[in-house]
Amino acid sequence: MASVDAQSRVLSGMRPTGKLHLGHYHGVLKNWVKLQHEFECFFFIADWHALTTHYEDPHGIENSVWDMVVDWLAAGIDPGSATLFIQSKVPEHAELHLLLSMITPLGWLERVPTYKDQQEKLKEKDLATYGFLGYPLLQSADILMYRAGQVPVGADQVSHIEMTREVARRFNHLYGREPGFEENAQAAMKKMGKKAAKLYQKMRKNYQEQGDAEALETARALIGDQQNISLGDKERLYGYLEGSGKVILPEPQPLLTPESKMPGLDGQKMSKSYGNTISLREEPDVVSEKIRTMQTDPQRVRRTDPGDPAKCPVWQLHEVYSDEQTMDWVQQGCKSAGIGCIECKKPVADAIIEEQRPIRDRALRYEDDPGLVRSIIYDGCDQARDEAKATLDEVRSAIGLGFR
Ligand code: TRP
Ligand code: SF4
């Protein structure tokens, strides 16, 4: 197997939600654009994950996928730097998901907080399905398939990465032992003496089953203190403690995406469900119109009434887009009724249109040539499949279903 440096690998995915907006840009996409230059990145569209909640109305998914890919490319994700693909076009994900499902206790899935939360939130949907329960495990398969060490996600997804770590640990524990490793480790353990061996076993169990970090430390100290066993045996005991001789699926770390401060048109967080968005490739006229009709400080009825930026959503946009000087001008002008709201909004609209200019420019090529977008994605899918096949080969033979 060509060895993979997990620490240099990044993988992340998005469910296809259709056209993206400036909130996605300031949160996720700008981060991806930066990461693609620093790591070996895999970015994919999680269409099967969309199906877990939209199985009754899947018709929009395919168009949403293409719209989203164009947004990624327009935002500056470069297919020369990152591998872009569609989950369902790499069916290996389904096989890994299935194999992982064999070793995943039901309780792990049931206690992932998003399981109950989403069922509560999406009450109109019946999410008491096998597929929805398995959502985080499918995500684990996505991640472990590419042996990605780092997974950029929002805070809401951290529990999924945590579960992925547990699944990887369990997999390595069950299937990663090399011939004779366990026997050797057991023999080394006996040399510690009954009492120490018992404590070691207990701590090992606590760490492996509950991820108890303190137990890990205690056991490590215990090994360190042993006077009567060889260095080799100590190494065995350290390795055995963490579960395996061999790491087949490395444990990933979440790379927390900085929370986007992008406010929507009404001052709440920008979100499709609030209907307060500016889309990533919005036409300049539409941007101007959306800003022009934005609510301002409700106390400022007439031009001559002084206002308070703290009570105005336009001010929040100034905080994202304006320099100190402009912000001073707003503060002074608003509180003294020296400027009007239309005047005040102009620099914001201009800044957004300016920010979007290169995005719209890049998008043109792809909007005009859907074939180009498809070929970028198909190339990415080919690359992803090669990686996926290599991992699956190893996974199958570790389990003992290599059939070679
Ligand atoms: N569940 C993620 C979300 O809703 C999307 C996703 C699917 C993902 N598979 C992934 C993210 C793997 C990171 C890694 O945002
Ligand atoms: Fe808001 Fe600017 Fe009008 Fe003040 S002047 S209320 S900050 S839009």
Domain boundary assignment for the chain = 6-176+370-398, 181-242, 284-366
Same fold, 6-176+370-398 and 284-366: no
Please give the CATH architecture assigned to the domain spanning 284-366. Answer: Orthogonal Bundle (1.10)
**Ligand 1 atom closest to Cα of 152?**
13
Neighbours of 6 (CB within 10 A): 18
Q: Are 271 and 264 in contact (CB under 8 A)?
A: yes
Give me the pLDDT at residue 220, please: 85
pLDDT score of 309 more than 80: yes
Q: Please name the residue whose Cα sits nearest to atom 8 of ligand 2.
A: 341
Q: Helices in 176-281 by DSSP H: which ranges?
A: 181-191, 194-210, 213-225, 231-241
Q: What own/partner pairs with CB < 8 Å and gap ≥ 24 does 316-319 have?
A: 316/263, 316/267, 317/263, 317/291, 317/348, 317/352, 318/347, 318/348, 319/261
- pTM for this predicted structure: 0.85
Task: Determine the atom of ligand 2 nearest the C-alpha atom of 315.
Answer: 7
Q: Find the angle CA(315)-CA(318)-CA(321) to the nearest 5 degrees.
A: 160
Residue 150 bridge partners (DSSP): 10, 253
pLDDT band at 258 (very low <50, low <70, confident <90, very high): confident
Query: Which residue ranges have their beta carbon within 6 Å of ligand 1?
Result: 11-15, 46, 49, 139, 142-143, 151, 153, 157
| Higher-pLDDT residue of 180, 157 | 157
3-state secondary structure of 263: strand
In this structure, which topology does domain 6-176+370-398 adopt according to CATH?
Rossmann fold (3.40.50)
Nearest CA to ligand 2 atom 7: 309
pLDDT at 371 over 50: yes
Q: How far is CA 218 from the centre of its chain?
A: 33
Residue indicated by tokens 């996505």: 142
Please give the pLDDT value at position 234.
Answer: 81
> In this model, does residue 160 exceed pLDDT 90?
yes
